[in-house]
Structure formats: structure tokens, C-alpha cells
Amino acid sequence: MKKLSLTVIGLYIGILAAFSQYTKAVDSAQFKPRKLSFEEANIITSYYHQNGNNSAVTGGIGTELLSDYSGVFQLKLHAWDDRARKHTLDLELGVDHYTSASSDNIDPKTKSSASHADTRIYPSATWSMENEQKGSTFTLGGALSHEFDYNSYSTSVGFAKKTRNRMGELSFKAQVYLDNLKQIYPIELVPTATVSTRSGASSSGSKYPIVGRNSFVGTLSYSQIVNQRLQFILLMDAIYQSGYLGLPFHRVYFNNGSEQVENLPGTRLKIPLGFRMNYFAGDKLILRTYYRYYHDDWGLDAHTFNIETSYKITPFVSVTPFYRYYTQSAINYFAPYEEHKVSDQYYTSNYDYSKFNSHFFGAGVRLIPPKGVFKLENFNMLEIRYGHYTRTNGMNSDVVSMNLRFK
């Protein structure tokens, strides 16, 4: 009987041990590499419309009428590796289609030239690896942008490290853009050599000469949690550009009546410094503020102030009125229509480089119902936003955007 009891106990322990081992095997399996799994998807669509009377295509006079439709699809996937690091893959595909009355004036003799409308396609991919234990994140990205007269290839690398108490984070990012653009001149200023090239196929297969533009961007930022309601981030960029920095279809009319395409220096150094601070007041109100100071070696100084309040009508519905003020000085090479001298080395009549102030205001609505938008479980969030932009030199625009998020 004793032997039988001992055998039963032995069997019980054996079975228990076997199951214990099985359970342990399941635990360790949790740290094995996993396949990429869906995190979220976003669809962002916008309609933008502008008008004004200082088009650079017609030398600082003439219509700036432009409409742009854009759609962006973003997909976020993630996976964990056997060292408990989170790998995230962000994929994006964007398409813009615009119609522009001023671009149509590159060749005003045609009622509707090829330049009056264009489509831009811009795919990108970013991979990031986050080590939660070490508080560090490494990112690597690449992007393309293609439109009829402008192509861009870019790559980026970044690193971020949290402070020991996880209240702050220092990050660095470096980006390189290698761009090229077709030299599409106003019809009356097309160089003779280019005219002969246009009439037949060139050796490169393009009807237009191609020039390059390179941009090197370094970004340093530091974010800090101040308390349970307040956090801020300091941002600093250093941007160096070289190559052809104007656009070949921007006309300049001199004070003697002659005409040329704009001519700008071959290099530009930009230093923007930004500060963003968010504060959660009470239980329903969030204040989002932003300030940026900007300086570049073309002589442009600018200040940007932005404030947005997000008021939660319910925990799932919020309204977000906003206001943005922007002011800039003119670059050293800007002058209005027929005010440049022929002796000027560099010249442009592009009013985007003139002295002006602008106001941008509007509001948004954000819905995040717990059971999903329209009770569709995966339709996690809907946000709609409208803004009106007005510039002191007469240009104004409207933009309406919508973001659908699926989780």
C-alpha cells in the first residue's frame, strides 16, 4: 500500500513536472521573434485653394490662383524581437494633384499648357527600433518624391535616448535630400540651345536640361516632462542647401523693361529654433503652444507663434480652435515688379520672399468613440479641420483636411 501511495505521488509529481516544463516552454516562446503585426492605418485627405495677385511666374504681378487635392495613406506595423526590442515600420504613400493658373503662364500663348496641372507622388518608409529597457530608439528612413519637373531622393538616420528618470529625451536626426529639377523656362526666355533640344529627343531622353539641388538637414531636439500636466520640447535645425535654389520659370522684370528668370545664390544656410509646450488644464482643456525663430544667410528673419486649444466636450469628442501668426523680413535679393536694377547680381520677384505678416486661423473636430466611429470597431478616430490663411500682401487661402484612423 505504501509502495502504491508512493507510486501515485511519484506519478503526480511527474505529471506536474511535465506540465510545469510545458508552461515554461510557452513563457520562453513569448520572447521569440514575431511577424510584423498591424498597429494602425491613417488616411489623410485635403483640399487647398489659394488666390492672390503677385505670382512669381509673371514677375510679381498676375494671378496666384491654385487648387490642390491631396491624399496620403499611412500604414504602421510592428514586431518584437527576442531581446524585447520593438521594431516599427512606417509606410506612406502620398499623392497631390494641383491646377495652377500662374504655372499656365509659363507659356501664356497656350490656353492650357502641360504646366497648368501636375501630380506629385511621394512614397516613404521609416524603420525604427526601440529598446524600452535602455530608453533608446534608432531610426532609418528613405523617401522619394516625383512630379513632372521635380524629383527628390532622401534618406534619414536618427537616434534618441531617454534620461535616466525617463522624464526627458534627447534626439538627433540627419537627413539628406538629393533633388533634381527640369529647366522649364518661360517660353520667351528659352535659351536657343534648349529650343533645339526641345524639338528633338536629347541623349538623356529628357526634353529639358536638368540641374541639381542638395539639402543637408541636422535636427537636435530635447523634450522634457515638467509635471503631470506640462511638457515641452526644444527643436533646432541646421539646414544647408546647395545647387540651383531658384525656379527657372520665375520671371523678373527690371527697371529698364528687360526680362530674365530669377537668379539666387547657389548656397543657403537656414537656422530655425523652435519651442513647443503643451499644458493640460483641468480635465477638459489642453493648450498647445509653439514658437519658432528663424534666420538664414539670405537675410530672412522670421517669427512664428501658434496657439491651439483642445476642448473636450466629452471624453470622446473635442473641438480644436487655433490661431497662428507669422512675420518675416524680405530676403536681400527681393524687389517687386520692374524695381530690380540690371546691375543686381541676384534678383527675384517671388513674393514668398518679400516682407509680410500672415494670420492663419480655424478649428477642428476630433471624434474617438469607444465603440468606433459609426460603430465600426476598427474605425478608431475621425478628425476634420478647416483653416483660413491671409497674408498682408493680399494672398489668401483656405484648406480643409480630414484624418481617418483605423486600429
Residues 92-131 binding other proteins (CB under 8 A) are 120, 122
Residues 365-404 that bind other proteins (CB under 8 A): 366, 368, 381, 383-385, 387, 389, 391, 395, 397, 399, 401-403
Q: Which lies closer to other proteins via its Cβ, residue 100 or residue 197?
A: 100
Residues 338-357 that bind other proteins (CB under 8 A): 352-353
Total of chain residues touching other proteins, rule CB under 8 A: 100
Q: Does 358 bind other proteins (CB under 8 A)?
A: yes
Q: Which lies closer to other proteins via its Cβ, residue 103 or residue 197?
A: 103
Please provide the size of the chain in residues. 407
Binding other proteins (rule: CB under 8 A), the pick from 208, 326, 333, 347 is 326
Q: Which lies closer to other proteins via its Cβ, residue 81 or residue 114?
A: 114
Residue span 290-319 as binding mask against other proteins, x where in contact by CB under 8 A, dash where not: xxxxxxx--xxxxxx-----x-------x-
Q: Which lies closer to other proteins via its Cβ, residue 261 or residue 381?
A: 381
Residue span 130-169 as binding mask against other proteins, x where in contact by CB under 8 A, dash where not: -------------x-x---xx-x-x----------x-x--
Residue span 253-282 as binding mask against other proteins, x where in contact by CB under 8 A, dash where not: ---------------x-x-xxxxxxx-x--
What are residue 170's DSSP bridge partners?
161, 222
Residues 207-246 that bind other proteins (CB under 8 A): 213-215, 217, 219, 223-237, 239, 241
Stretch that binds other proteins, among 7-15, 186-194, 252-260, 364-372 (CB under 8 A): 364-372
What are residue 337's DSSP bridge partners?
none
Q: How far is CA 108 from CA 27, 57, 104, 286, in A?
A: 72, 11, 6, 50
Q: Which lies closer to other proteins via its Cβ, residue 81 or residue 366?
A: 366
Residues 52-91 that bind other proteins (CB under 8 A): 68, 70, 72, 74
Residue 167 contacts residue 191 (beta carbons within 8 Å): no
Residues 168-187 that bind other proteins (CB under 8 A): 175-177, 179, 181
Q: How far is CA 38 from CA 30, 79, 342, in A?
A: 18, 9, 60
Q: How far is the CB of 122 from other proteins (least distance, A)?
A: 8
Q: Which lies closer to other proteins via its Cβ, residue 252 or residue 381?
A: 381
Q: How far is the CB of 382 from other proteins (least distance, A)?
A: 10
Residue 96 contacts residue 68 (beta carbons within 8 Å): yes
Q: How far is the CB of 303 from other proteins (least distance, A)?
A: 7
